[in-house]
Structure 1
Amino acid sequence: MPTTAQSLDQVPFHNSFVESLRGEASFDRSPRQVPGYQYSRVEPTPVADPQLLAWSEELADFLGLTKPAERGPAVDALAGNLVTPSMKPFAARYGGHQFGNWAGQLGDGRAICLGEIRAVDDSAWEIQLKGAGPTPYSRRADGRAVLRSSLREFLCSEAMHYLGVPTTRALSLVRTNDEVVRDMFYNGNARPEPGAIVARVAPTFVRFGNFQLLAAAGELDNLRALAHYVIRGYYPELGEPSSAVYVQWFAEICRRTAVMVAHWMAVGFVHGVMNTDNMSILGLTIDYGPYGWLEPYDPDWTPNTTDFGSRRYAFGQQPNVALWNLWQLARALAHLVDDPEALRPALDHYTTTLETTRHELLLRKLGLTALAPEEDHVLLGALHEALADAQVDMTLFFRHLSHAVPALVSSPDTGAATARELLGAVSYETEAAPAPTALYQWLLDYTLRLRREPASPEATREGMLRANPKYVLRNYLAQQAIEAAETGDLSLLNELMEVLKTPFAEHPEHESLAAKRPEWAREKPGSATLSCSS
């Protein structure tokens, strides 16, 4: 346990993944199949002139790390230019289903884990550099990442944490001062972009796909060893691994995944690329690529241009996709249990947990207590269709609704006028469009239900304001921060970092960061939709 804060280049690293599991130690970066191993030892490829752009102060404090200067040994470590003696960097081997199709071996193609450090509470946290250069799993890629995607991942990892969503974290954003060629929309318009590296942090980055590949390759000893490593290290409360413990473990993975997805749905977050290799074994949001928030509310919306054909990963599909992904994990873990059918109830547990958690979160967002379960089931069920019909901004709808509660319940006439005013403030409908009658009627029904709550309207409003964020990382805001950062202007990046730490506060001086998406951003590249390119 660290007693005083240290610089990253001085902190001792631990290497439980490398020391517990079978890996290759050739340090060969050439792309290839790596059968029989869980990982490959590989060192980051140095960059030209690493420069610290952003730093998560609160996470660093928890990890016992001091903020480095803009350039220096600690930034060299964050960029992969410095590997200290206690680090044993590696790239993990895994597979996965991408857009529903088995892709075989994938692995960390541009992410290299440095090892683990001990936080102030003595817990272990992996530090992984994304964009640190080629590995055996890079296939035809260069192992690098661009500033565009790295800034998005840094900001969103931390923003999601402060929203209360289970997530991996981000410690730093480093500009490499190298250029990286990318085709942003895979349309033949490749161009050089500024390179960057984000330091990601999590207890472990093991994914569903780690287990899938080992099962598909028939590497059952490796499969069992990985299961033992994860259970002993991250699910110790379950006891020593056994067939029965594997079943309990899978049920807990299902529960955590359900809670994570329920939180996504509650804040209107769309992951955009829910491949099985992007699913954390700990139930954490991982791999922030073409994500987005609902602007306007549309269950069929996906921010991922690669997914426009099938919309497999659209907002409304996320609960079902997570269940499908858990099925694929169950198929891999079936090799470890005496009776594979014993895994099936956990999938039902996922569905029940998801429904229960979503319902509880939505009740909280609406300021309702469990007074009328059957009535509330109907009321809450009608809300989603009404939101879509009215084309409202989901974040702003719930925030404005929170403030409107006292006026809604004061009198029928005041409530009706307030409902009309609220809809005008949060809808993307044009003036010529028909009035959103379904949502207006829903608001009237909701007001009647709200008047039966025992709490005062003011107390209800305050509770709702704690459940409904005013600020989320809208894509157009991230894109503006990217464009400014590419010119050396970090002011918007820093402003977003500070505001997104307290997304439920009012921040009247930052009101512009809570506005509806401007019309110009609807079609602008990066401001609404993105591809997987990074």
Structure 2
Amino acid sequence: MNYLPPSPAKDGDTFTFDNSYARLPQQFFARVEPTPVAEPWMIKLNKPLAEELGLDVAALEREGAEVFSGNRLPAGAEPLAMAYAGHQFGTFVPQLGDGRAILLGEVIDRNGTRRDIQLKGPGQTPFSRRGDGRAALGPVLREYIVSEAMYALGIPTTRALAAVVTGQPVYREQILPGAIVTRVAGSHIRVGTFQFYAARGDTASVKVLADYAIDRHYPDIKGDARPYLAFFKAVTAQQAELIARWLHVGFIHGVMNTDNMTVSGETIDFGPCAFMDAYDPKKVFSSIDQFGRYAYASQPAIGQWNLARLAETLVPLFDEDEATAVEMANDALGEYGAIFQRHWLDGMRRKIGLQSSEEGDLDLVQSLLSAMHQGEADFTLTFRRLCDCAGAPEADVAFSALFASPLSTASWLNDWRQRLSRETTTPDERRAAMKAVNPAYIPRNHRIEQAIVAATEDADFSLFEALVDVTAKPYEDQPQFAAYQTPPVPEEVVQRTFCGT
């Protein structure tokens, strides 16, 4: 069955929905409408994204608070909560599902790409268990800030279309203002979505879901002799590249459960996520990651572990002979390490100004990271200041000042310049190329916390707006936002981030 007929966006409609997931069999979701809220008002509408989606921006400016709070369903919406399972910190939970998210529907954007429009925090669903299905203001602001920053950094991600406050409280460890974020994604199909049906022995539904995901995300492999194996390989390659790109900017997801890994290769669920300040490969922020399962340097291995769980669901589709199918799965999974390492090292070469490749480049990168760890150097600023060193040796002083022992950088800088001498780019070209991949601005944890506190306690969204603005242009020098480059002083350091459920 073809669930994905073409349906281009039309000017003049607030939304032009074409809801292919809602046309799947009933076991894939539960139909549910958002629960109305008291007094919604718009915090922010992402106008550039709305235009990209082909939406009526003027209408959303007038009516968006009602629409994005769930108080008013736009014409054509078919709200539903998706079913999925997942391994949470290594423990399998056979039923999770959208407990505080409702998919309004799908639109075809101006580039011809199908995109989900989902409300996060609109009330209870059949998957809420004992939860209220709501979101507090702090996690909504965090997701808006970080997801849009990830997009500006060029990393595949879900995006934030809007944020609204609901006018009513939510009850966590304290009473907090409620809010809803509208999330946009290529899809919300997760590894855990496949696990939901595989755990029930429902291979027919696994096949339907795989066919749908191939149609939606990897249509080029439909004619492959083994399309399901090709699908698994495609997801593996996407995830290997995605996680490599996380590491390039010092990003720690914080909760890499299988229900938080999409088959589209987008970053999803910005709960206890954070960007590192001082470099530490074992760094953990998430308050619920007590044993460091999802630490910064553990993310590549966890990515492979999650993909192994996806492979388990797809094995019956690889080959009728189980032993042959398992061998295929293991061979495909075995390619992950090489794909990740290639993307990671290529990206790290670009970060230190190398356009060509040599055998000793890995050692050069690793020695810098080791010096950064020992010297407690700020991850983002180290690479940004290295850009200036590529253009002028006098910039070495500012670079070395980031390290606890500035003189310890002399040996590495000498080795680096010897390696650069074998490159063909000019110093100015090299500096420009490095600045294009080493951000000056990231959404630093203490800045996010400051914005959340101001909004939550004083209804002051100016810090939120400033952080969204500065991180929208992460690779540009923005003198008016120079303070946003600096790491936190000791009393500002954020040690723990929270899920927000």
Note if 1:132 corresponds to 2:122: yes
**5+ long unaligned stretches in structure 1:** 24-36, 183-189, 409-413, 430-434
RMSD across aligned positions (CA): 1.7
2: distance between equivalents of 1:462 and 1:438?
A: 26
Alpha carbons 2:157, 2:268 under 8 Å: kept: yes
Alpha carbons 1:168, 1:286 under 8 Å: kept: yes
1:157-201 superposed Cα distances (whole Å, 9 cap, x missing partner): 11101101111111011111110011xxxxxxx111011100000
Amino acid at match of 1:399: R
Aligned length: 488
- Corresponding residue number in structure 2 for 1:499: 470
1: distance between equivalents of 2:62 and 2:169?
A: 21
**5+ long unaligned stretches in structure 2:** 1-7, 320-324
The 5 Å alignment of 1:29-68 reads 37-67=27-57
Note if 1:476 corresponds to 2:449: no
1:83-124 superposed Cα distances (whole Å, 9 cap, x missing partner): 234111100110010011112211111010001112112322
The 5 Å alignment of 1:148-167 reads 148-167=138-157
Amino acid at match of 1:507: Q
Structure 1 counterpart of 2:299, from 318, 328, 343:
318
- Return the offset for 1:533: 2.7
- Corresponding residue number in structure 1 for 2:390: 405
1: distance between equivalents of 2:496 and 2:330?
A: 36
- Corresponding residue number in structure 1 for 2:322: none
The 5 Å alignment of 1:385-534 reads 385-408=370-393, 418-424=395-401, 426-427=402-403, 429=404, 435=405, 439-486=409-456, 487-522=458-493, 527-534=494-501
- Corresponding residue number in structure 2 for 1:114: 104
- Corresponding residue number in structure 1 for 2:5: none
- Corresponding residue number in structure 2 for 1:384: 369
Alpha carbons 1:330, 1:343 under 8 Å: kept: yes
- Return the offset for 1:375: 1.9
2: distance between equivalents of 1:152 and 1:512?
A: 20
Amino acid at match of 1:219: D
1: distance between equivalents of 2:407 and 2:388?
A: 21
1: distance between equivalents of 2:499 and 2:406?
A: 35
2: distance between equivalents of 1:177 and 1:133?
A: 14
Amino acid at match of 2:275: W
Taking only the aligned residue pairs, the percentage that are identical comes to: 38
Alpha carbons 1:390, 1:439 under 8 Å: kept: no
The 5 Å alignment of 1:122-271 reads 122-182=112-172, 190-239=173-222, 244-271=226-253
SS of equivalent to 1:374 = coil
- Corresponding residue number in structure 1 for 2:11: 4
Alpha carbons 1:251, 1:343 under 8 Å: kept: no
Note if 1:76 corresponds to 2:66: yes
Greater shift in the superposed pair: 498-507 or 337-346: 337-346
Alpha carbons 2:135, 2:178 under 8 Å: kept: yes
- Return the offset for 1:377: 2.3
**In the superposition, relative to structure 1, how do residues 98 and 220 fare at CA in structure 2: closer, same or farther (>3 Å)?**
same
Alpha carbons 2:9, 2:107 under 8 Å: kept: no
1:179-232 superposed Cα distances (whole Å, 9 cap, x missing partner): 0011xxxxxxx1110111000001210000000121111111111111111111
**TM-score (normalised: structure 2):** 0.94
Note if 1:328 corresponds to 2:309: yes
SS of equivalent to 2:161 = strand
1:433-470 superposed Cα distances (whole Å, 9 cap, x missing partner): xx266544222211222233222111111111111000
2: distance between equivalents of 1:69 and 1:491?
A: 24
1: distance between equivalents of 2:335 and 2:353?
A: 27
**TM-score (normalised: structure 1):** 0.88
1: distance between equivalents of 2:89 and 2:406?
A: 35
Note if 1:354 corresponds to 2:325: no
Structure 1 runs of 4+ with >6 Å offset = none
**In the superposition, relative to structure 1, how do residues 459 and 72 fare at CA in structure 2: closer, same or farther (>3 Å)?**
closer
